[in-house]
């Protein structure tokens, strides 16, 4: 007789901080266990399987959900700090981003990350962490002043800079406020 280790997804879900999926999971698990496949018509089985697939598509594991929330375009709040706008652009003119995009030609010579904060409770620092191919390229410390503030950082482009990039905007404690992704091409 062979013993099998059975993982219980309910206990794994309960380990996470967001438990909004747990009631749905419990309902689907109970419905599946109580479903008699000999009595249940085929169309109900098909609806049930499609429902499970859609539920899994809309409720990913909590770690992925947390990453999506950190990268979402919605306002990010950290210690009362509210991001109003965060964009990648070709340059800054009159304190406004110019030519916003997610794909830039290496020939333009530079790329800027513009960040605007609607509520700055106190003088503080943020960081623009520039990653090229998932490797930290540069980390730029920027100051914020109350009550609202806009700031930016830029990098000069070279031929070797082609490929995927991201800028992680973090507070002084390392909390990610926003992630901006872009690419450099010919």
Q: Give the count of beta carbons closer than 10 Å to the beta carbon of residue 3.
A: 5
Sign of the C-alpha dihedral, residues 119, 148, 69, 12? negative
CA distances from residue 146 to 59, 87, 116 in whole angstroms, order as listed: 38, 21, 12
Q: How many secondary structure helices (H) and strands (E) does the chain include?
A: 4, 10
Per-domain residue ranges for the chain? 9-68, 72-185
Instruction: Using the structure block, give the residue that is written with the tokens 């109003």.
Output: 84
Instruction: Using the structure block, give the residue that is written with the tokens 């950082």.
Output: 153
d(CA 144, CA 125): 6
Q: Are 73 and 167 within 8 A, CB to CB?
A: no
d(CA 136, CA 99): 25
pLDDT given for residue 30 in this prediction: 57
d(CA 73, CA 110): 24
Please state which CATH number belongs to domain 72-185: 2.60.40.2550
pLDDT given for residue 15 in this prediction: 46
> Residue 16: helix, strand or coil by DSSP?
coil
**In degrees to the nearest 10, what's the CA dihedral of 102, 108, 109, 113?**
-30
d(CA 114, CA 71): 16
pLDDT given for residue 141 in this prediction: 98
* Predicted structure pTM score: 0.59
Backbone angles phi, psi at 141, to 5 degrees: -90, 130
Per-residue pLDDT tens, the chain, 186 aa: give them. Answer: 444 444 444 444 444 444 444 555 555 555 555 554 445 566 566 666 676 566 566 555 433 444 444 444 434 456 678 899 999 999 999 989 999 999 999 999 999 999 999 989 999 999 999 999 999 999 999 999 999 999 999 999 999 999 999 999 999 999 999 999 999 999
d(CA 57, CA 80): 33
pLDDT given for residue 80 in this prediction: 77
pLDDT given for residue 14 in this prediction: 43
């Amino acid at each position: 007789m062979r013993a099998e280790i059975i993982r219980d997804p309910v206990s794994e879900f309960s380990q996470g901080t967001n438990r909004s999926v747990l009631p749905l999971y419990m309902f689907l698990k109970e419905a599946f266990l109580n479903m008699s496949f000999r009595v249940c018509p085929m169309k109900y089985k098909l609806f049930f399987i499609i429902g499970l697939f859609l539920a899994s598509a809309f409720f990913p594991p909590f770690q992925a959900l947390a990453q999506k929330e950190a990268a979402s375009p919605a306002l990010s709040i950290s210690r009362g700090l509210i991001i109003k706008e965060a964009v990648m652009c070709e340059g800054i003119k009159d304190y406004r981003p110019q030519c916003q995009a997610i794909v830039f030609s290496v020939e333009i010579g530079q790329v800027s990350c513009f960040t605007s904060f609607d509520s700055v409770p106190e003088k503080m620092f943020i960081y623009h962490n520039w990653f090229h191919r998932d490797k930290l390229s540069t980390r730029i410390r920027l100051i914020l002043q109350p009550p609202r503030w806009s700031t930016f950082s830029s990098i000069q482009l070279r031929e070797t800079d082609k490929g995927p990039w991201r800028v992680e905007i973090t507070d002084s404690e390392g909390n990610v406020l926003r992630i901006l992704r872009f690419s450099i091409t010919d």
